[in-house]
C-alpha cells in the first residue's frame, strides 16, 4: 500500500473575492490529489481561508460589515470554487473555527513553555498588504521588496526566538535536498537564512481581529503564526488523532510570494514545538495578465467564474497547467487559451477520439474490435502508452513537474494520431478487414490509457472519453491501466468532446 498523501493549498485571505491565482494553486493541488488517489494512496487534500489580521479587519470596515459577518460572506466565495473547479478537496478549514483556534492556542502555549517566546516591543516596518514585518535593509524607495506599502509600527510585542534556528534550518536544508522545490527557490531560501535571522514579532496590539494571546488579551497572535497552524489543526492537532498520525507531514504547495513563511518561519515553529517538519514545500510562479502584473488596484484580476463559463472547466484547467512550467512565472492570454483549446484539446485529443470512435461506429459494428497479431508499429504504440505511468508518477508526486506529465501524455496522443494516418484503417477496410480491427484495437487501447491518465487533469472530458469506450467506472484506476479491453463490448455513439471555440461566441 503506498504511503498516505497529504497535500495543502495556502489558505486564502478573505479580503477580496477569489481570482485566477487562487484557482491556479487549487487546480494544481487537485491534479496531484486525484493522481495520488488513482495511484492507490490514501489522500487528504486541504484548502481553506485565512480570516484574521489587520488586512481582513480593514476590508471588513471598508465594506461596512463586522469582521465576522464579512469573513463569513467572503469565505463562501472561496468554498464555491470547490464545485466550480471540481476540486476533490477533503476538508475546508477556516481560521475563525473553534477547532483551529484551539490548536493555535495550544501551539502558542507550547512555544511559551519551551522558552521560545518572550515579551519585548517591536519598532520597525510592517506591510498590511503582505501581513509581514520587514527589516530596514529590505525597504527600497519606501516600499517592501514586494512593492507593497509599509507603515512604521511601534508597539509592545511578543517575539519568537527565530534567531535560535538559523543553524538548525541550514542543516535541515542541507540534509533534506528535496525539502524545498524547485531548486532555484531552495537556493533563494538558503541565501536568505544565511544572511541572518532576527527574532520574529508574533503578536500585535494595534487592532483586535485575531486570536487573543493567552493571559494577555491586549495582544492578538500574529496572523501568520495563526494561519500556518491550519495545516495541523485540520488534522485535529493538538489531539494525536488517527488523521494526524496517518497524514502528517504534508506537501505544501504555495505561490512564490509566501515562500519565506513556509520554508523559514513554519519549520522553525515546528522545530520549536518538537513536531515533524513538512515533507516538502513547493513554490509555483506567478501569472501576469496580458503582460501586466495582476492587482486589485489595476482592476485587471481575472475572474475564474466568468472564465470557466466562457471556455469550460477542463480547457481552463488544461491551460493553467500546460501554459507555463509549474514553478515558473508566466503570462495569461486569452488568445493562447483559445489556441490551446482549439489546438491541443480539439485538434489533437478530441480529434483522435472522435475519428477512431466514429470510424468504429460506422465500420466495425460499434464494438470494441478484435486484436489480431501485432506488428512492430502496433507494439511501439502499445509500449509507449504502457510506459507512461512509471514515467509520470515521479513528475507529479515527487517533483511537481505537472507540465511534463501533460507533455508526456500529449506525446502519446501525437503518436496515436500519426499511427492512424499511417495505418489508414479506412484503406484496410477494403484490403484487410482483420488488420483494420487490430489497428482499431490498438487505438482503443491507447485511448483507454490516455483517458485514464488524464482523469486528474481533465475530470469531465476524460470521463467522457472513457464512457465512449464503455469502460466501467470500476475499471478506471491506475491498477486497470493494463487490463485489456474486451472485444465485442458495444460502444455508445461518440460525441464531440472539445468543441472548437469561435471568437464570436465570446
Ligand atoms: O498569502 N499567480 O493568502 P493570499 C499565481 N493567507 N498564484 C497566485 C497569484 C498569481 N498572480 N496571486 C495569488 C496568503 N496566487 C495567506 C496564505 S497560508 C498559511 C496563508 C496564489 O490570499 C498563490 O498560491 O494572498 C499565492 O501564494 C496565494 O494565492 C496567496 O493567497
Find the mean pLDDT for residues 407-428: 98
> If you measure from the C-alpha of residue 257 to the centroid of ligand 1, how many angstroms do you get, rounded to a whole number?
7
Please calculate the CA angle 277-114-232 and round it to the nearest 5 degrees: 35
Per-residue pLDDT tens over the stretch 277-312: 999 999 999 999 988 888 777 788 899 999 999 999
Residue 479 near residue 40, CB atoms below 8 Å: yes
Each residue of 122-162: pLDDT tens digit? 999 999 999 999 999 999 999 999 999 999 999 999 999 99
Ligand 1 nearest-atom number relative to CA 288 = 11
Ligand 1: residue of 7, 8, 10 to mutate (most ligand atoms within 8 A of CB) is 10
Three-class secondary structure of residue 274 per DSSP: coil
Q: Cell 498520525 sits at which residue? A: 245
**With contact defined as beta carbons under 8 Å apart, do 225 and 202 qualify?**
yes
| Sheet containing 212-213: order of strands | 203-204, 216-221, 212-213
Atom 24 in ligand 1: residue holding the nearest Cα:
255
Mutate which of 12, 30, 54, 92 for ligand 1? The one with the most ligand atoms within 8 Å of its CB, which is 12
Query: Cell 482592476 appears where?
Result: 299
Residue 78 C-alpha to ligand 1 middle, in angstroms?
12
Q: What is the mean pLDDT of the chain?
A: 96
For atom 4 of ligand 1, which residue has the closest CA? 12
Residue 181: all three cell numbers together: 522545490
Q: Is the pTM of this model over 0.85?
A: yes
Residues carrying CATH 1.10.730.10, the chain? 334-505
* pLDDT at res. 504: 59
Q: Which pLDDT band, with edges at 50, 70 and 90, does 444 fall under?
A: very high
Average pLDDT score over residue span 84-97: 98
User: Rounded to whole angstroms, how far apart are CA atoms 260 and 73?
Assistant: 29
- Exposure of 228 by Cβ count < 10 A (0-12 exposed, 13-18 middle, 19+ buried)? buried
Burial (0-12, 13-18, 19+ Cβ within 10 Å), 467: middle
506, pLDDT greater than 50: no
Of 497, 491, 400, the C-alpha closest to 33 is 400
Taking CA atoms only, the protein residue closest to ligand 1 atom 18 is 10
Q: How much is the pLDDT for 16?
A: 86
- Strand order of the sheet with strand 132-134? 132-134, 117-127, 151-160, 200-201
Angstrom distance (rounded) from CA 273 to CA 232: 12
Q: What is the DSSP letter of 276?
A: P
Q: What is the CA(7)–ligand 1 centre distance, in A? A: 16
Convert the pLDDT of each residue in 180-227 to its tens digit: 999 999 999 999 999 999 999 999 999 999 999 999 999 999 999 999
pLDDT of residue 120: 97
Ligand 1 centroid–CA 146 distance in Å is 13
> Are residues 304 and 18 in contact, defined by beta-carbon separation less than 8 angstroms?
yes
Residue closest by Cα to atom 15 of ligand 1: 21
Rounded to 10°, the helix 67-79/54-62 angle is 100
DSSP-based three-state secondary structure for 178: coil
Q: For atom 23 of ligand 1, which residue has the closest CA?
A: 255
Q: Which three three-digit cell numbers place residue 236?
A: 485535529
Residues in the chain: 506
168, pLDDT greater than 80: yes
- Protein residue closest via CA to atom 2 of ligand 1: 286
Q: Using CA of residue 400, residue 13, residue 259, residue 91, what is the dihedral sign?
A: negative
Distance CA 27, CA 90 (A): 14
Q: Which residues pair with 217 in a beta bridge?
A: none
Of the candidates 30, 22, 7, 43, which has an alpha carbon nearest to the alpha carbon of residue 460? 30
In angstroms, what is the span from residue 155 Cα to ligand 1's centroid? Answer: 28
Taking the C-alpha atoms of residue 467 and residue 486, their distance in angstroms, rounded to an integer, is: 14
Q: Tell me how far CA of residue 286 lies from CA of 22, 145, 372, in angstroms.
A: 11, 16, 50
To 5 degrees, how large is the angle CA 328–CA 329–CA 331? 135
Assign domain 5-285 one CATH number from 3.40.50.620, 3.40.50.150, 2.40.50.140, 3.30.565.10: 3.40.50.620
Domain with CATH 3.40.50.620 in the chain: 5-285
CA distance 155 to 146: 24
Distance 13 CA to ligand 1 centre (A): 8
The Cα 416–Cα 357 span in angstroms is 13
The pocket around ligand 1, CB under 6 angstroms, is made up of 10-13, 21-22, 24-25, 50, 227-228, 230, 254-255, 257-258, 286-287, 294
Angle in degrees, CA 32, 36, 40, rounded to 5: 170
* Spatial distance between the Cα atoms of 498 and 311, rounded to a whole number of angstroms: 10
Indicate the fold that domain 334-505 takes in CATH.
Isoleucyl-tRNA Synthetase; Domain 1 (1.10.730)
How remote is the CA of residue 22 from the centroid of ligand 1, in Å? Answer: 6
Give the DSSP letter string of 318-344. HHHHHHS-BTB-EEE-HHHHHHHIIII
Cβ atoms within 10 Å of 112's Cβ, excluding its own: 15
The predicted structure's pLDDT at residue 329: 97
Q: Cβ–Cβ contacts within 10 Å for residue 340, how many? A: 18
Amino acid at each position: 500500500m503506498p504511503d498516505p498523501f497529504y497535500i495543502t493549498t495556502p489558505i486564502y485571505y478573505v479580503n477580496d473575492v477569489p481570482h485566477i491565482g487562487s484557482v491556479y494553486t487549487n487546480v494544481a493541488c487537485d491534479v496531484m490529489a486525484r493522481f495520488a488517489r488513482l495511484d492507490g494512496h490514501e489522500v487528504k487534500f486541504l484548502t481553506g481561508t485565512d480570516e484574521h489580521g489587520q488586512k481582513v479587519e480593514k476590508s471588513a470596515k471598508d465594506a461596512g460589515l463586522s469582521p465576522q459577518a464579512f469573513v463569513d460572506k467572503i469565505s463562501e466565495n472561496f468554498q464555491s470554487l470547490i464545485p466550480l473547479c471540481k476540486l476533490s478537496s477533503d476538508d475546508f478549514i477556516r481560521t475563525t473555527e473553534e477547532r483551529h483556534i484551539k490548536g493555535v492556542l495550544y501551539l502558542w502555549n507550547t512555544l511559551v513553555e519551551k522558552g521560545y517566546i518572550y515579551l519585548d516591543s517591536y519598532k520597525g516596518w510592517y506591510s498590511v498588504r503582505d501581513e509581514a514585518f520587514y527589516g530596514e535593509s529590505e525597504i527600497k524607495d519606501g516600499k517592501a521588496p514586494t512593492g507593497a506599502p509599509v507603515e512604521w509600527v511601534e508597539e509592545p510585542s511578543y517575539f519568537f526566538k527565530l534567531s535560535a534556528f538559523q543553524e538548525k534550518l541550514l542543516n535541515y536544508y542541507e540534509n533534506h535536498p528535496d525539502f524545498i522545490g524547485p531548486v532555484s527557490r531552495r537556493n533563494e531560501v538558503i541565501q536568505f537564512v544565511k544572511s541572518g535571522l532576527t527574532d520574529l514579532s508574533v503578536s500585535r496590539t494595534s487592532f483586535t481581529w485575531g486570536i487573543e494571546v493567552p493571559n494577555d488579551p491586549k495582544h492578538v497572535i500574529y496572523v501568520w503564526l495563526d494561519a500556518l497552524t491550519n495545516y495541523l489543526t485540520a488534522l485535529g492537532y493538538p489531539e494525536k488523532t488517527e488523521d494526524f498520525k496517518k497524514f502528517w507531514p504534508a506537501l505544501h504547495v504555495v505561490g512564490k510570494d509566501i515562500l519565506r513563511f513556509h520554508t523559514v518561519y513554519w519549520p522553525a515553529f515546528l522545530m520549536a514545538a518538537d513536531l515533524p517538519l513538512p515533507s516538502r514545500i513547493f513554490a509555483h510562479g506567478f501569472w501576469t495578465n496580458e503582460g501586466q502584473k495582476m492587482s486589485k488596484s489595476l482592476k485587471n484580476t481575472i475572474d475564474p467564474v466568468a472564465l470557466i463559463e466562457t471556455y469550460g472547466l477542463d480547457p481552463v484547467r488544461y491551460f493553467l497547467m500546460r501554459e507555463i512550467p509549474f514553478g515558473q512565472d508566466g503570462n495569461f492570454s486569452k488568445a493562447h487559451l483559445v489556441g490551446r483549446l482549439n489546438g491541443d484539446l480539439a485538434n489533437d485529443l478530441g480529434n483522435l477520439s472522435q475519428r477512431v470512435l466514429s470510424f468504429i461506429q460506422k465500420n466495425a459494428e460499434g464494438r470494441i474490435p478484435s486484436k489480431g497479431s501485432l506488428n512492430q508499429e502496433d507494439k511501439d504504440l502499445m509500449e509507449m502508452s504502457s510506459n507512461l505511468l512509471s514515467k509520470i508518477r515521479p513528475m507529479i508526486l515527487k517533483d511537481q513537474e505537472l507540465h511534463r506529465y501533460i507533455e508526456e501524455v500529449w506525446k502519446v496522443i501525437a503518436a496515436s494520431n500519426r499511427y492512424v494516418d499511417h495505418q489508414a484503417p479506412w484503406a484496410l477496410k477494403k484490403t484487410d478487414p482483420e488488420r483494420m480491427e487490430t489497428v482499431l484495437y490498438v487505438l482503443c487501447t491507447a485511448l483507454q490509457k490516455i483517458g485514464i491518465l488524464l482523469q486528474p487533469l481533465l475530470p469531465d472530458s476524460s470521463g467522457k472519453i472513457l464512457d465512449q469506450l464503455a469502460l466501467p467506472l470500476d475499471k478506471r484506476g491506475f491498477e486497470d491501466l493494463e487490463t485489456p479491453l474486451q472485444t465485442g463490448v458495444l460502444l455508445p455513439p461518440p460525441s464531440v468532446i472539445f468543441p472548437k471555440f469561435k471568437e464570436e461566441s465570446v
